[in-house]
Amino acid sequence: MGKRILMAGGAGFLGSHLVDRLLRRNELELLVVVDDFWTGTRENLKHIDDRRMHVVDCSVQEFATHETFDEIIHFASPASPPWYMSDPARTIKANVGGALNLINLIRKGGRISFASTSEVYGDPMITPQPESYRGVVDCTGPRSSYDESKRCTESLLFEMRRTRDLDVRIVRLFNVYGPRTRIDDGRAVSNFIGQALSDGILTVYGDGRQTRSWGYVDDIIDALERYFWLDETSYCGPLNIGNDREIAVIDVAHFIASLVPGSQIKFLPPVPQDPTNRRPDLTLARQVLPGWAAKVEYEEGVRRTFDWFKSKMTLMERIPEP
């Protein structure tokens, strides 16, 4: 008997990259992708022609079936601040409501893997942040729908492991960028690239000295694939995944501006409660995933993302208005 897998959020930026890896697995019998196409796109799955995959247009919290699955992967959530802030209730429903629904669809002894976030550390007081750090999140702040719903879902899954012996894998993802980010995603790398390729004005919020650790999508997916498919581990998470090279937002803007001569940087007011720094402690990741390391240098990853955006935006310009 082959594996039956449900991938929630499989049309999204990270979800669709993971779907590509899932379909390379010979033992896969059935892959059900559940996505409501809020932030995910059909375009992200367009290249796939595989009869094992079925796409269901439905929210993760409402999805219903009589089937049960060997593995469930829950990636159904917006991840960009402007998107999750635009509909906080929907963000909470997707994460918490989605997990509450999905845990009933796992066969006995099955596994659920979940994409949590470095946002659980809030604006961290220590650097780098190890998994043991409990974080500083404002539960009434503007980022709380995302931060707290990720925290709550972590709690739910760990408690299901304790009380129902569920096999769980939880990763805390630091900033990820790369091809298949929405053009209108709004996060720093994609925004700067889109701006450099359109009006040439890159918007930096605040003074740009806030830092993030930027992980190229292929490196991150390599880590996820290893961790979610690792049978031998008894370590259920949380596991930090990212690239531990920390770079200030202003330096990201300067680098991307340098790719298109004539680009300018415009400073806008700071975003309320924007974390000042973020850097993963990857000690545990290196132990749990021997041989894994982020390999794509930031400059190379940005160039690849830039080329992808350029091809997409050129294509969009060529499509005539209806």
Q: Name the residues annotated as catalytic.
A: 146
Q: Judge whether 171 and 232 are in contact, CB under 8 Å.
A: no
Closer residue to ligand UDP, CB minimum distance, 159 or 251: 251
Using CB under 6 A as the binding rule, whether residue 39 contacts ligand UDP is answered as no
**Minimum distance between the CB of residue 305 and ligand UDP, rounded to whole angstroms?**
13
**Minimum distance between the CB of residue 12 and ligand UDP, rounded to whole angstroms?**
15
Closer residue to ligand UDP, CB minimum distance, 148 or 225: 148
Tell me, residue by residue from 70 to 99, as one string, x for binding to ligand UDP by CB under 6 A and - for no binding: ----------xx------------------
**Closest CB to ligand UDP: residue number:** 187
Q: Judge whether 61 and 93 are in contact, CB under 8 Å.
A: yes
Q: Judge whether 8 and 72 are in contact, CB under 8 Å.
A: yes
**Minimum distance between the CB of residue 77 and ligand UDP, rounded to whole angstroms?**
12
For residue 48, which phi and psi values (nearest 5 degrees)?
Answer: -95, 130
- Taking the C-alpha atoms of residue 141 and residue 145, their distance in angstroms, rounded to an integer, is 8
What is the per-residue DSSP string for 8-30?
ETTTSHHHHHHHHHHTT-TTEEE
Using CB under 6 A as the binding rule, whether residue 274 contacts ligand UDP is answered as yes
Closer residue to ligand UDP, CB minimum distance, 167 or 244: 244
Using CB under 6 A as the binding rule, the residues of this chain from 178 to 217 that contact ligand UDP are 187-188, 191, 203-205, 210, 212
What b/e string do you get for 205-225 counting C-beta neighbours within 10 Å, with b at 16 or more?
eeebebbbbbbbbebbbbbbb
**Minimum distance between the CB of residue 250 and ligand UDP, rounded to whole angstroms?**
8
Using CB under 6 A as the binding rule, whether residue 246 contacts ligand UDP is answered as no
Closer residue to ligand UDP, CB minimum distance, 81 or 141: 81
Using CB under 6 A as the binding rule, whether residue 223 contacts ligand UDP is answered as no
- Taking the C-alpha atoms of residue 111 and residue 108, their distance in angstroms, rounded to an integer, is 9
What percentage of the chain's residues is helix, strand, coil (to nearest 5)?
40, 20, 40
User: Tokens 């292929």 sit at which residue?
Assistant: 218
Measured CA to CA in angstroms, residue 178 lies from 56, 185, 222, 321 at distances of: 25, 12, 14, 28
Using CB under 6 A as the binding rule, the residues of this chain from 159 to 178 that contact ligand UDP are 175
Closer residue to ligand UDP, CB minimum distance, 103 or 253: 253
Binding stretches for ligand UDP (CB under 6 A): 80-81, 175, 187-188, 191, 203-205, 210, 212, 249, 271, 274
